[in-house]
Amino acid sequence: MKIAIIYNRESQAVINLFGVPNREKYGLETINKIKEALKVGGHQVKAFEGDKNIIRKLEEFMPSVISGERPGLVFNLSYGIQGRGRYMHVPGILEMLGIPYVGSDPTTHAIALDKVVTKMILMQKGLPTPRFTVLDKPDSPLTEDLTYPLIVKPKDEAVSFGLRIVHNESELRNGVKDIYEKFQKPTLVEEYIDGREVNVALMGNDPVEALPPVELIFSEGEKIFTYEDKKGISKNRVEKICPAPLSPQETKHIQSLAITTFKALGCFDSARVDFRIDKEGNPYILEVNSMASLGLTGSFVYAAEKVGLDYTALVNRLIDIAAKRYFGDKKIPAINDSLNNKEAAIFNFLTENRDKMEKDLKFWTNLPSRTNDPVGISAVVRKLDERLKKQGFSPVEEFTNMRSTWTWETKAGFSGGTLLVVPVDVPKDKEGYPIPFRRDPELLYGEGIASSRAGIVCILQALSALRYVKQLGTTKVGVFVYSDEGRGMRYSGSILREAAKNAKQVMVLQPGYRGGKIVNQRRGSRKFSILIEGDPLRIGLRSRQVDVLTWFLQRVEKIVNLSQQDKKLSVAVQDVHSERYSILLPHRVRAMVYLTYLDSKLADDIECQIKKILTANSKSIRSYVEKIEERPPLFRNGNNKAIISKLKTISEAWKLPFEIESSLLPSAAGEVPKDIPVICGLSPASSNLYTPHEAIYRGELLQKSLLLTLFLLEEKQ
């Protein structure tokens, strides 16, 4: 499980600093000790300061989970940065974000931190607590008939800040004044209970378990445990004894009071209740620590050791307690009980390796391989070859030309099985710096991350998961990669057509659409290179002769108007460039005309019309139209039903989003022969595809990897 430790130490990253600053801090030694303990427990752990940046950090560390995946959990050590309600700040944020956490909720922390409210609840429940009053200011009258000596302490502070014994009116006023000046808060004044100090640590929820009581033995001075005592900066030395030397009946009684108090305040997971036992053996509840210290020398840790929980075991026990409260006893609570062990193992493998998946994506994204970069493409193919061979794949020479296509297959081959197709080139000019990988809570960015890299990672993760459950070697799977996506598969298309004839079905790892949408229909495309040449003309020359740029622009509107949206056909003019001498008018124009379509016969007709429009009838103008790229459409009438039905069934069983969509962009799926079932869009949905801001939706990386893996597993079975 992913666990974020949240604490407060150095950071003051807030919009404004105001109010009372927090003085409670965990030491780095304790934070690191907890971190190491959680790692020993098999968790993925990262520690964060609990400041205004915590939401962004948690979103990055704990992305939204898929159905059935146990979400991450926060080990909350945060006392807050400032303000009266600082204990509540991080739990409140976590409640809003929907992130489970160890410890009590904001309401309980607010009650426990306010000692007066705590005492009022205790009194209402009939639980024993010393008599008290509250002095708002140093000169507030003492209206209650309290007996000296008295205890004074801030109304809503912790770790014994400002705690002292006062024996008369003068000491009382000085104590209240000191607290008011330091904390700007009212003072709780309660009767001092002369006797033994005992505390009880509590863990669990249903049931709540009370650890053996710990007694504090004071060596000298006043028998109170001040902040200075806790930090070891006073002369007073305090010894801890556990179990406290109480009779079995006294132990049971004080533990019962602690549990009742825990429930009365609505605590969760853990807490500590502090008592005083007077000379007659009567216990009094002093306060409740809803965030009991896990400091290495603290009473909570000391009591846990006495019941056989060393520090590592204690920390992981607290995680288990919180996890049970949120998720129950099942390891994967949302998964249907009918799923078999292999499916559950695949689910666990992929969800537990989510971080490694993103790290792998970063590796591939930062490995540049633009279409016209043979060195970069060679590096990517070489790395891919290494990874696939480690998975037990071997090259298929028949469909590998080592220039534009490479194919591998499992030991079982891919004949009669599934052929996975993905480009390794990024359709972009070589000029300019590569865009490096980066991420935010929702998106993962980088050059070619959607058009190529996410598909590669989905394939590798799916194969790794199948290997993990010992199903890969006997599964009929082939991997076909090509390096001329940026050239419209000019060289690889024919080889893919032949390779696909051997497969039962083809799955193309190109971007899908938001909401788990895969692509069952894609338009084809044709690209035409246009060259218009003519005589160089002087500006302002009186002549009936038209310059080539004007001649071309007069025809652009006619070309664009050939589009027929109702028939899913579009024509666009791109990349218009002119050449001229000095101040003369252009004598040469180059352009591209891009045609997308579903109906090939209609596209043939439009192609003829484009050529006719661009035919020059003047001897002074010469025009040339050359078709430089043609990509067939993906259009299936029915032979895709079985593969779509199977993907939909898997998605419904695993509560994965799934829909069918059509696309305006061509892909390798169009090259697959019409009698072979093919589906596209099995890669995560993209944002700003083919731009410098190209990205994939972060959550879909895991979703699509899981969907692909389970599909291949079902094909095997």
Domain presence at residue 16: yes
- 170 and 276 in a single domain? The answer is yes
Which 3 state secondary structure label does DSSP give 328? coil
Which residues of the chain fall short of a pLDDT of 70? 19-20, 158-161, 220-236, 329-340, 430, 717
DSSP state, 620? Answer: T
Give yes or no for a contact between 538 and 555, defined as CB atoms under 8 angstroms apart. Answer: no
Domain of residue 71, CATH code: 3.40.50.20
Report residue 209 as tokens: 């378990």
Distance CA 140, CA 683 (A): 70
Last residue of a domain, one of 54, 81, 102: 102
Cα–Cα distances in Å, from 459 out to 347, 477, 489, 550, 591?
15, 11, 21, 51, 38
What pLDDT shows up at residue 76?
A: 96
CATH number of the domain bearing residue 479: 3.40.630.10
Q: Is 226 in the same domain as 163? A: yes
Mean predicted lDDT score pLDDT of the chain: 91
What is the value of pTM for the model shown?
Answer: 0.78
CA 534 to chain centre: 59
Helix (H) or strand (E) holding 389: helix 374-390
Task: Give the pLDDT score at 82.
Answer: 80
Looking at residue 337, its pLDDT comes to 42
513 and 555 inside one domain: no
Is residue 231, in this structure, part of any structural domain at all? yes
Tell me what pLDDT residue 335 has: 35
In a domain, 47, yes or no: yes
What is the spatial distance between Cα 572 and Cα 561, in angstroms, rounded to a whole number? 9
Q: What is the pLDDT of residue 336?
A: 41
Report pLDDT for 159.
47
pLDDT at position 285 is: 97
Give pLDDT, residue 18.
Answer: 76
- Which contiguous run of DSSP H or E holds residue 663? strand 659-663
pLDDT digits (tens, 9 = 90+) for 455-487: 999 999 999 999 999 999 999 999 999 999 999
Is the domain of 395 the same as that of 443?
yes
The verdict on 622 and 645 lying in the same domain is no
518 located within any domain: yes
pLDDT digits (tens, 9 = 90+) for 105-146: 999 999 998 999 999 999 999 999 999 999 998 889 888 889
Are residue 151 and residue 257 in the same domain, yes or no? yes
Q: Which amino acid is present at 547?
A: D
690 & 604 share domain? no
Which residue carries 């909720």 as its tokens? 105
**Are 589 and 658 found together in one domain?**
no
Residues 506 and 557 in one domain: no
Domain boundary among 79, 102, 125: 102
CATH of the domain at 593: 3.30.70.360
**Is residue 471 in a domain?**
yes
Q: 559 and 509 share a domain?
A: no
Per-state percent for the chain, helix, strand, coil, to nearest 5: 35, 25, 40
Give the separation between CA 691 and CA 426, rounded to whole angstroms. 11
**Residue ending a domain, choose from 595, 616, 631:** 631
pLDDT digits (tens, 9 = 90+) for 483-508: 999 999 999 999 999 999 999 999 99
Domain that holds residue 45: 2-102
**Interior CA angle at 613 toward 607 and 617, to 5°?**
135
Tell me, yes or no, whether 276 lies in a domain: yes
Domain tally, the chain: 4
Q: Can you tell me the distance from the alpha carbon of 5 to that of 715, in angstroms, rounded to the nearest whole number?
A: 42
SS3 258: helix
- Spatial neighbors of 632 by CB under 8 A, at least 6 apart, are 524, 600, 666, 670, 671
- In this structure, are 91 and 147 located in the same domain? no
Which region holds residue 707: left if phi is over 0, alpha if psi is between -120 and 50, else beta? alpha
Q: Does 286 lie in the same domain as 161?
A: yes
Cβ atoms of 556 and 614 within 8 Å: the answer is: no
- Residue 189's domain is classified under what CATH number? 3.30.470.20
The reply to whether 680 falls in a domain is yes
Exposed/middle/buried for residue 143 (C-beta within 10 Å: 0-12, 13-18, 19+): exposed
d(CA 410, CA 395): 9
Asked whether residue 494 is assigned to any structural domain, the reply reads yes
* pLDDT value of residue 580: 94
> Contact 711/417 with Cβ under 8 angstroms?
no
Cα–Cα distance, 686 to 42 (Å, whole number)? 33
